[in-house]
Each structure stands twice: as C-alpha cells, then as structure tokens.
Amino acid sequence: MTATIIDGKLIAQQLREKLKIDAGAVAKKRRNPIGLAVVLVGENPASKVYVKNKIAACEQVGIKSFSHHLDINTSESDLISLIKKLNSDKTVDGILVQLPLPKHIDERTVLGAVDPKKDVDGFHTENAGALFLGMQDCLPACTPAGCVHLIKSTGVDLVGKHAVIVGRSNIVGKPVAMLLLQENCTVTITHSKTKDLGDVTRSADILVVAIGRKNFISGDMVKPGAIVIDVGINREDDKLYGDVNFEEAVKVAGYITPVPGGVGPMTIAMLLANTVKTCL
C-alpha cells in the first residue's frame, strides 16, 4: 500500500485562482483593490524570503501589498504607532506582522495592537477566542486553516473521525484542534508529556503533526489508511525534513502531505483567503 500524496502546491494554486476572482469582484464593486500591509522588522533572512513570497502571492490574486520594512532597532512603541496608523488606513484591509520580532519587542503586545478585523494571521486573542467559541466569521490562523483545507481535499467524510494532534502550540496545535471539532471530528491533543504516544497516534484516522522534530513520527506510529498532515519544517544539510518519517509513513497512510510542497504553500494561500475574507 502506498499513500496518495496530498499536493499542497496544486491545491493552493486552485484556491488562489478562486481568490483572484473574488478579489477582482471586490475591487470592481468598491473601485479599489483589496490592500494588505506587510510589516517586517530587521533582516532575518528567512523572514525576508517569506515576506517576498507573500507579496508575490498577493500580486498573483490582485491584492495590493504595502510593504513596511523597519530597522532592527525600531522600538516597540514606534512599531505599535505604525500599526495604529495601518488600523485607521482605509486602503489597508489586512495587516501582517512578520514573526519572529527582535527580542526587545514583545510579540503578544504587538499582535494585540492589530485591529482584529484586519488580523489576517489570525493571532489576535479576539480571533483565537472566536475560533474557540466556534464562530464562523472569525479569521482563523493560516497554517491550521490550511491543514483542514488539505484534509477536506481528500474527500473523506470527517464526521466522527478520530483526529490526533501532535503538538499543543497556540499557532498550530490548539487552533487546528478547534477547526477539526467544527468538522465534527473527535479530537485528541498530544504533546511532549503524553504517555505511550504511539498507542494514541495509531488510533488516529487523521494525524496532524506539528512538534518541530525531524522524522519524529515513524511509520509504525501511523494507523493504516490514515490521513497524515505533516506541518514540520526542519532544515538539515540544506535539506528540508518534516516531523513525519515520510519514507516509512507513505507505505502505511492513506493520504499524506510531503515536505516541502504540502502545508507550506497552503499557509500563504490561507493568508490570502483571510485577506479577501476581511472584505466579504
């Protein structure tokens, strides 16, 4: 048995094509394009690449991007002042503050300064709380939303399925659990203190792994036929590895995402989806 590969690049492209139509309709109706402000502080190489890719993706779907690249020594108060200006700027529909921020800036304070209605990353406590309450009109965190989009792309009926999440972060683990509860899955969240982890993961019809450890999930920890979503990005010797041992798991699972080319492209696509959603 060999799993069906969930092609994140293709699925993300299909979503972008739909978003291009939606963004065009919004622009035509109000006579100006949807606007996304992207704020980058410092010279983190990975962050600069991510921002470049996000801006390029905006252009592809007709979203106008406003780039604000600030010096690494920018103060927290100056950054918040910029965010407040963007909050009141009617040409800006969404605001993205690229993480991580320099150590002298408190991320929670900065993210909390973003208008929740423009919080396209879905990190504001108001959006996180709305997601917990099952409110459909909130802006969900992009990576978890992308994971669920990939899971649903398989066409498998999710009602009553046992979903196991490996990782309890506020960015992936917890929100993806909430989203899968909304799909009527039975959800178990596991973490570094979970006993007999393999026994739990082997019971999963849907396995979402976001723990940040290369090849942490081996093939014998996967239930035959399961949907496996690998959120991990671990770089070693200029190669990328997931949190799941792909070579082993692909022989057991029913569906599986590769690394790279799985969850990554969907994260940017869901960012665009959230940006369009602010205008609908």
- Which residues are tagged catalytic? 54, 98, 121
CB 267 within 8 A of CB 146: yes
CB 121 within 8 A of CB 98: no
Which residues fall within 8 angstroms of residue 25, CB to CB, at 6 or more apart?
none
Q: Edge-to-edge strands of the sheet including 162-166?
A: 4-5, 255-256, 227-230, 206-209, 162-166, 186-190
Query: Number of H helices and number of E strands within the chain?
Result: 10, 11
256 CB burial (10 A radius; 0-12, 13-18, 19+): buried
